[in-house]
Amino acid sequence: MSTLAAELAQQPAALPPADALDRALRNASPAEVIVAALQAVGRERLALVSSFGTESAALLKVMADVDPSIPVVFLDTGWLFEETLAYRDTLIKALGLTDVRSIKPDEQALSQQDPDRELWFTDPDACCRIRKVEPLARALKPFAGWINGRKRFQGGSRTDIPVVEDDGLRLKFNPFANVSREDIEAIYALAKLPPHPLVASGYQSVGCMPCSSRSSTGEDARAGRWRGRAKTECGIHTMKMS
């Protein structure tokens, strides 16, 4: 084999168009979307990103039923609740997940940009960038596609998310785009999944400690995130993960 032929053989196969996949999977079940994701990008090139938050177990359960060895990327920001870290460990054992990768922010970036750990208050977008966006971008470099748990019923910028979208160099799969809150509850009940420990305390959505608060009855599920600010997303879903 010539040198050029060898180089071409090592290059990853071209990804199918996101819009074509989205049309084909518009009415597919979450499990069918994950199977299609594996077929589209290849077994070694797909990861799932999970916060191990209040609804995360449902998607992780569906993924585990398809293939529990799919890499799961977990962003350990340094500001997470101890309950979330414990819940991660509980679900790894309960679901038989075999490749959960806890990713942390760059220590040099933290020491230079957030030495006093007050960036969450003075500039929450910058805090999310160095603790979530940049670490995730690094973690996703080996992958051609990633799965996340956003749902349209969560509202805001998530209301119209497709099932599959273009994410720069990767495909981004949203298997739960079409599910309802009742669907999520049914998955938990059927599989007897343990709830996140903070749900009983009134947290409907859990992220970093300083930027998460309890929600009142009737509030949007994500109302407790960055309460009192215009901010509604950390940034990993509002910019391309090139």
Pairwise CA distance, residues 91 & 157, whole Å: 28
Question: What is the secondary structure of 46-63 as a DSSP string?
Answer: EEEE----TTHHHHHHHH
Q: Which two tokens stand for residue 10?
A: 């090592």
| Position 149, amino acid | G
Question: In terms of residues, how long is the chain?
Answer: 242
- State the DSSP H helix or E strand holding residue 102, giving kind and residue range, or none if neither: strand 100-103
Pairwise CA distance, residues 235 & 58, whole Å: 23
- Active site (catalytic) residues: 234
Give the residue among 229, 214, 226, 207 at the shortest CA–CA distance from 51.
Answer: 207
